[in-house]
Amino acid sequence: MEILKIVGGTKLKGEVSISGAKNAALPILFASILSEEPSIIKNIPLLADINTTLKVLDALGLKTFFKLEDHAIEIDGSELASIEAPYELVRTMRASVLVLGPLLARQGEAKVSLPGGCAIGARPVDFHLSALEKMGAEFKIESGYIHGVAKNGLKGAVMPLPFPSVGATENALMAAVLAEGVSEIQNAACEPEIVDLANALRSMGADISGEGSPTIRITGVKKLKGMRHSVAPDRVEAATFLCAGLITQGCVTVQGINESYLSSALDVLKEMGGKISSTENSVTAEYLTPLHSVNIETSPFPGFPTDMQAQFMALMTQANGSSQIKETIFENRFMHVPELIRLGARIKIHGNEAMVEGPLPLSGAIVMATDLRASASLIIAGLAAKGETVIRRIYHLDRGYEQIEKKLQGLGAQISRELEK
């Protein structure tokens, strides 16, 4: 098993380029199922979850060619040999449930293993199924699989979501683009990844309006062309590096992203005392004075993103005063807390709220990654801890960060990836 070794204390300085967004690339890759013509998708991040997505597409019979050098993927969607996303792939990546909408739209049938829970919560898919049922799909759950059929094809419908679920919005959107008639997704998620998916679908000839707002309107078309799209930048990766810059009292510029992707996170960094500046295509966070505590509550976009909660908690351990974090999206997203405490943090949890005392000196220790964003939180804390921190189970990290240790080395961090002895 691989581990990350970090010797803390170096001020991070410099520029780092941001990769394509994992949470945009995954639905966009699944959207290629909607066309029999070849698709070309650029700015794909090199991540474990991307590899898993390509395995799912291969299992369905699509041919995929990853052109590593320019982070591009070509997909030949002419052959659809199967309508089943198998358990062994879905259990490693629950986002595979996003094949439901495209398969029902193209083939009128889909079989996907129930994703099962994950470390951060039960993560049911009931909102996905009820939206697709509005368009005429019928589902049966048997032996751990969701089996969906749309005998007479999908029909446009009004789909009110009980919660602005990102995945349910994406499945409904990808189904509606080929449904017969007009659809409306109400209480839709407004995340930038939804906007990116809509742009990718529009490059195929889809008729969509309102993406990025709570109401998305789609007029179904008969056929879609192959996709031509370049994936938007990863706002969660960008925020991770900005937190690393501030916790090490340095100055970090994230290249290839506009501040509009990061607005609520930048508001919090400014409130903590970070000096934030930006250009059209970059954002800089500079440490000028000791940080002060702040209270945050995660909520759907444009609120504070749950995917940035763990990283900001690490930063708060070095802020003056006590900071409060309320996690409203997932029921178990504080697993980084015991590990941060091993590094010397003082954090108390009451239900879905965490109280972080600061500033407290952190000292290196062996810690364990429990999920993707918790891993990033431990790296950020390790960069500020005195001495050596070893992070185990970094396979969680590799799902969502492209070569993070190389990017951090480029900013001056003393970090290396090694094999556990």
* 56 lies in the site for ligand EPZ, by CB under 6 A: no
Look up 243 and say whether it is catalytic: no
CA dihedral (304, 307, 309, 312) positive or negative: negative
> Which residues are CB-neighbours of 294 under 8 A, at least 6 positions away?
268, 271, 272, 316, 319, 323
Q: Which amino acid is at 199?
A: N
* 35 lies in the site for ligand EPZ, by CB under 6 A: no
Residue number closest to ligand EPZ, CB atom: 167
* 23 lies in the site for ligand EPZ, by CB under 6 A: yes
Strands 145-149 and 158-160: unpaired
Catalytic residue among 118, 190, 243, 251: 118
Contact window for ligand EPZ (CB under 6 A) among 18-26, 205-213, 226-234, 256-264: 18-26
Q: Which of 137, 140, 139, 193 is nearest to 165 (CA)?
A: 193
* 163 lies in the site for ligand EPZ, by CB under 6 A: yes
Q: Which of 39, 96, 113, 165 binds ligand EPZ (CB under 6 A)?
A: 165
**Looking at 70-132, which runs of residues are DSSP E strands?**
72-76, 84-85, 109-113
Measured CA to CA, the distance from residue 394 to residue 376 in angstroms comes to: 10
* 306 lies in the site for ligand EPZ, by CB under 6 A: yes
Considering the complex, state which of residue 165 and residue 248 has its C-beta at the smaller distance from ligand EPZ: 165
Contact window for ligand EPZ (CB under 6 A) among 82-90, 124-132, 284-292, 383-391: 124-132
* 26 lies in the site for ligand EPZ, by CB under 6 A: yes
Measured CA to CA, the distance from residue 174 to residue 32 in angstroms comes to: 10
The CA–CA distances, whole Å, from 64 to 45, 55, 75, 171 equal: 15, 9, 5, 21
Strands 72-76 and 39-42: antiparallel
- Quick note: the x/- pattern for ligand EPZ over 311-350, rule CB under 6 A, is ------------------xx--------------------
Q: Which of 4, 50, 166, 216 binds ligand EPZ (CB under 6 A)?
A: 166
Q: Which of 184, 135, 174 is nearest to 155 (CA)?
A: 135
Report how many residues bind ligand EPZ under the rule CB under 6 A. 24
Least separation in angstroms between CB 415 and ligand EPZ: 21
Would you please indicate which residues are annotated as catalytic (active-site) residues? 118
Residues in contact with ligand EPZ by the rule CB under 6 A: 22-23, 26, 95, 121, 123-128, 163, 165-168, 189, 306-307, 329-330, 372-373, 400
